[in-house]
């Protein structure tokens, strides 16, 4: 395995990362677009423009930039799988997280559109929508506002947060031939 450090908001860095995969392995079979950020929960009218812009640039444009470079590589190779990480926030809304909710709804829509567009080219594109997951983002949110944990768990059928390994397992399965 190898890694390439890239900022998903910079299309040239994503192009470089995809090219590195092709140079190293000959082609790109699977991509898991998993970069995402949130913000300190606050009422919509109190959030500054830069908060909205930063979240949308990372969570939506990051997926857009990634797929714009991954899809041509997969078209050349004749197949591939792309998994975009959304959230249950892409399916339902909760208060005080409007930009995050909007971004994850956009990821779902972008994924659906791309899935239809490239299915006949043997490229499977899916999104996963995990609930609250034990990540640095959630840990920071809970430190800033401990009372939000009850709200988060109330929107979860199982009274616990997911572990990142559970999300990785879902992405790995969607990448496999078993998900064809």
Would you call 100 a catalytic residue per the annotation? yes
Q: Could you say which of 25, 52, 100, 118 is catalytic?
A: 100
- The number of residues in the chain equals 180
Ramachandran area for residue 48 (φ above 0: left; ψ -120 to 50: alpha; else beta): beta
State how far the Cα of 35 lies from the Cα of 52, in Å rounded to an integer. Answer: 16
Query: What is residue 8's DSSP assignment?
Result: T
Asked whether the beta carbons of 87 and 64 are under 8 A apart, the reply is: no
User: How would you list the strands of the sheet with 80-85, edge to edge?
Assistant: 30-33, 80-85, 123-128
Query: What is residue 162's DSSP assignment?
Result: B
Catalytic residues: 100
């Amino acid at each position: 395995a190898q890694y390439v450090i890239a900022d998903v908001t910079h299309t040239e860095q994503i192009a470089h990362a995809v090219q590195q995969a092709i140079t190293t392995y000959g082609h790109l079979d699977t991509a898991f677009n998993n970069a995402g950020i949130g913000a300190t929960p606050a009422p919509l009218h109190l959030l500054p423009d830069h908060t909205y812009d930063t979240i949308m640039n990372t969570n939506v444009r990051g997926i857009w930039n990634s797929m714009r470079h991954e899809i041509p590589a997969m078209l050349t190779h004749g197949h591939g799988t792309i998994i975009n990480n959304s959230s249950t926030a892409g399916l339902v809304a909760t208060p005080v997280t409007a930009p995050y909710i909007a971004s994850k709804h956009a990821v779902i829509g972008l994924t659906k559109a791309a899935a239809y567009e490239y299915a006949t080219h043997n490229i499977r594109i899916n999104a996963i929508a995990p609930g609250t997951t034990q990540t640095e983002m959630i840990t920071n949110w809970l430190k800033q506002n401990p009372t939000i944990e009850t709200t988060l768990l109330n929107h979860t059928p199982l009274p616990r947060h997911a572990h990142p390994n559970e999300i990785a397992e879902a992405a790995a399965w969607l990448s496999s031939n078993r998900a064809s």
